[in-house]
Amino acid sequence: MPVPTQSNSIFSQLEAFGHKKVVFCSDPETGLKAIIAIHDTTLGPALGGTRMWAYKTEEDALYDVLRLSKSMTYKSAIAGLNLGGGKAVIIGDAHKDKSEALLRKFGRFIKNLNGEFITAEDVGTNPRDMEFIRMETQYVMGVPESIGGSGDPSPITALGVLMGIKASVKEYYGSDSLTGKSVIVQGTGRVGENLVKLLREENAKVYASDINDDAVQNIAKKYGAQAISNNSIFDIDADIYAPCALGATINSQTIKKLKCNIIAGSANNQLEDEQVHGRMLLEKGVLFAPDYVINAGGIINCYSELMGFSKKRTMQLTENIYEATRNVLKLSKAENISTTEAANKIAEKRISDIRKVKSTY
């Protein structure tokens, strides 16, 4: 993906990222300030979460929504979904500035896009907020199961990450069995806890870390994992490192220290710099399963809700992440390119192929 910078003008950023449409939503009465970015709709409506965050500047908010919406295009494309990429940000403190009126006003902006953009929860928003948006528009997924939604996507996301880990283990060790393999799970929140559970069911040895000491001790006891301090992650000689907390944990300093052979986790944007650090991992012989390929369970869950799929079909689509990861790793090896470059190539090819289909009849 080209790497535009935040210092570019608004229109040159849009051009560099390749966006189709960006909508600025302002409503002084409710205090709503939001940006909806629709990156690409070749494959279908743009689906992406709404993030509420107290951005320092409006430029930061714009840059974030452009970057995130573009990666949604790639995530859905490689997962084989008929969805385009979009994202929205609401500028504000989710603890102080959120209200029913603000969310419903935001819902009306989404309604006016007539299905070109469909949203769901993200950082700073939750299923209850989606219910308020649903009061104004049908174009919102991730509403609670009690009102017909798909509920918490985290168990599905964890299953997809497990598929990505198994495909990576197959590529690196020749068999996808996790028996006896050791995995460091960084972040034992909603996805991390589910992943620890799945890994233990596969007889992997699990080291778990979190900044919340009590939570990690409880999870370690519950599933038979070993709790470790967050500072020791890069000192442990494990087979796999699964980042399930924050982005950018893989950078020039941590790559030097890293002892694991495989990196595969749920956190978004794990590489501080996609190109530089993707290449460094390739040269060091560390297999990196691109985050957007293996953490697609959440978007698959939303897609299923949109299509009215059964839980069984959702699980099947999520299990396909194994094959999608294998394809990325094979292309990376065949062309000696980073796994992220390989994933981007596969996603871009699917979009351009389908664009040709749609331009004919």
Residues with catalytic roles? 87
Verify binding: residue 170, ligand NAD, rule CB under 6 A: no
- Report long-range pairs for 251-259 (Cβ below 8 Å, ≥24 apart): 251/277, 252/276, 252/277, 252/280, 255/280, 255/281, 255/284, 255/286, 258/234, 258/284, 258/286, 259/234, 259/235
**Closer residue to ligand NAD (CB): 45 or 298:** 298
Scan residues 108-167 and list those touching ligand NAD (CB under 6 A): 153-154, 157
**Which one among 267, 300, 317, 351 touches ligand NAD, defined by CB under 6 A?**
267
Name which of 253, 142, 62, 123 is nearest 132 in CA terms. Answer: 142
Closer to ligand NAD by Cβ: residue 32 or 321: 321
Q: How many residues does the chain have?
A: 361
Q: Taking CB under 6 A as the rule, does residue 298 contact ligand NAD? A: yes
Output 8 or 230, the one with its CB closest to ligand NAD. 230
209 binds ligand NAD (CB under 6 A): yes
Least distance (Å) from ligand NAD to the CB of residue 260?
16
CB count in 10 Å sphere of residue 262: 22
Beta bridge partners of 88: 36, 50
Q: Which stretch binds ligand NAD (CB under 6 A): 1-9, 15-23, 266-274, 343-351?
A: 266-274
- Residue 208 is inside which H or E element, if any? strand 205-209
Phi and psi angles of residue 203, each rounded to the nearest 5 degrees, phi first: 65, 30
- Distance between CA atoms of residues 293 and 208, nearest Å: 23
Q: Which region among 127-135, 171-179, 207-215, 218-226 touches ligand NAD (by CB under 6 A)?
A: 207-215
How many Cα atoms within 13 Å fall on the side-chain side of residue 139?
Answer: 22
Is 211 a binder of ligand NAD (CB under 6 A)?
A: yes
Choose which of 44, 49, 164, 192 interacts with ligand NAD (CB under 6 A).
192
Which positions lie near ligand NAD, rule CB under 6 A? 153-154, 157, 186-192, 209-212, 215, 230, 244-246, 266-268, 295, 298
